[in-house]
Structure 1
């Protein structure tokens, strides 16, 4: 693992004393222009930046800071109540200590990796929370090399060397499909998130397994980007088919609401003609007519568990993977028996 580049490393590279490096990089007199240039070049080559935490020691006790990157797309689409509740849960636990949460917008995974390197080498953060983890996530290896404490919000299959915090999504999908099968549904579809996402892979695999176990007829899985637009398009494709599904399970609430609108557009009644189940029981699910059946969990408590895991890692140098609950199915007005065949 990489160590943090220090002022002594810069001094060794430039062939000067640590004091000369301090003078040069703080733009103080006492070194020649040539020496200043050599020191600046050495610092740039090593990727060194001032240790903000060390500078703050003179001002009082050190305050731990946890870094967390958020994609620009998530902000542009609007951080929903579930995301905000998860962030709130993290902050709630951090407030129990002299800790704070540093949020930053990123536009790519490469930018996020560079941001972690900058934060860690400058002492800006003491650890980080990694979200939106994909299979073979390109952020994991370079971030691990930094030696920075990190907790990954994903199943351990995708967390690499980092401790993982996750909920049992496979069990939740299995429960939803079994419930629909008990109601009499045999043609059930799953509108999933991007295939690269670890959570989407786990949910789709669980859906496939339970569909095979129950010998369901013509079950289908369609991948989307989790947007309302693609959720609507996938619903339209399914419901326009000759042998359309009698029930659909969505990977988020936004797509389920879009699917409800598409069903009405096609003249289908919910749940008389088609049943719908949303992932994430949000306010959206409860203001639609009919109210959406949904897989419900507590994002605030989940965020709190993420923070506790990271604080344990900071305190002891290690933390175990931990599972935090299973989303529970809340049946409402969008699920019922399938339509009778003529």
Structure 2
């Protein structure tokens, strides 16, 4: 299967974490704009709004032939029904029901809570065709290799990695995970490329994230520190007719990754579609990375392990 160059992210669909309260009707235009521009790969999870994201996406996808879509969702260990005979199959069944499909193109283990316990549970789902490919998210290099061993022993293979990667968090690259993915033909899905909006230029010390949001707690203290990088993204972007946000997306693409871009507005879909046809110069990539490294900012989040320590 050939994926589009950018994935449509739906973490904010039906999840109050981002401070929006959009309903399904709002996302209809967003979905249709993406499909019209060939952005047909959608990433969701039961963890996003306790299934609300999956349900919204599932309702909207009914207007599109299933063979024209790629659907990606996740098993989150911390939310598993451990009283069930098969917690992984149980969570997947709920996801399939909400997505209104009999299979997903990518099924992820959301984090490395227990590689030995959860990875083998994917094998029967692969055999039944309920999941077409397996990915792991927030796993370090040793855990990724162990997942490969477990799947390989059963005649299956790992297809993708989904980790945090941005100009402010390059730990997956520094830890060798990015190079390993290229060597092993694993697709690297980069999430939080825009640091939840902090690299878009929309938020400044004068206009910070709303104080009643989770993003404010993490990013408002960092806004003065990251201003030089946002300015650099804006300046370099002008050469390509890109915004600061689009330039950050283009940087992630330049690393050989498939960025996941959270979309809640049609304009964001249009921005992503434009980036899919953009290539930054090597000089501009190096300039952005040098500027970012000089900031000394750490954006590893509370749910993530430090991949460099493993």
TM-score, with normalisation over the residues of structure 1?
0.29
TM-score, with normalisation over the residues of structure 2?
0.31
